[in-house]
Amino acid sequence: MSRSLPTEIDVLLAEYKEMYRLVESRLAALDRRVPVLGAALFTFVGSVPFLPLVSQLLVLLAVPFSCVWFVRTTLNHARSFEDVIRRIEQIECAISDRFGVPLLGFQSSHPSRGTHVGGRTSSVTAEAAMIASALLLGSCLTISLRVVDLSSDWTVAYACLVAAISLHLGAAVHRWSRYRYLFE
């Protein structure tokens, strides 16, 4: 008994379905990031005044670096989400071109197409991650100045660290905002 090979349309539709499964996964990851990770990091910062000095220092050093991880991984998810929705757009166009009429078109005709990397959801999530990180970095700096009893040299070094991380995050968001998926 001979099986027929799938047609080009069958292959494209199978990929289309898998891409939408990936969209669901990326959306879920993006939607959970800010509330869960932000709350955890704010809890750590809020506990600083009640910790012994060594633990205060560890938290004050760990949180800024956690902000780097938090923002960069959020931007990675958003960039991957962009790749997926652009591939869905390609599939929609290929199927429509094959039949000569617009059969599929949600991503290829979406009003916000191309205005935000990863669409509106990714953009809002990236902004929220950046705002949460800015608040966390500001909180860490304020706590280091008002609560933790340290030398002025340490305070200056810590302020420089927070400033450097802030600049790094701003540059990462800028690079992300300029990202474009390249069609083959």
Which pLDDT tens digit goes with each residue over 125-160? 999 999 999 999 999 999 988 877 777 888 889 999
What confidence category does residue 166 fall into, taking pLDDT thresholds of 50, 70 and 90? very high
- Phi-psi domain of 4 (left: phi exceeds 0; alpha: psi -120 through 50; beta: other): beta
Render 108-140 in DSSP notation, one character per residue.
TT-TTTTTSTTHHHHHHHHHHHHHHHHHHHHHH
In the predicted model, is pLDDT for residue 2 greater than 70?
A: no
Residue reference for tokens 């800010």: 34
pLDDT > 90 fraction of the chain, expressed in percent and rounded: 40
- The domains of the chain are located at 8-177
Q: Are the CB atoms for 176 and 126 separated by under 8 Å?
A: yes
Rounded to a whole number of angstroms, the distance between the first and last alpha carbons of the chain is 38
pLDDT of residue 117: 85
Is the CA virtual torsion 104, 25, 136, 58 positive or negative? negative
Give the list of residues 6+ apart from residue 180 with CB closer than 8 angstroms, or none.
Answer: 117
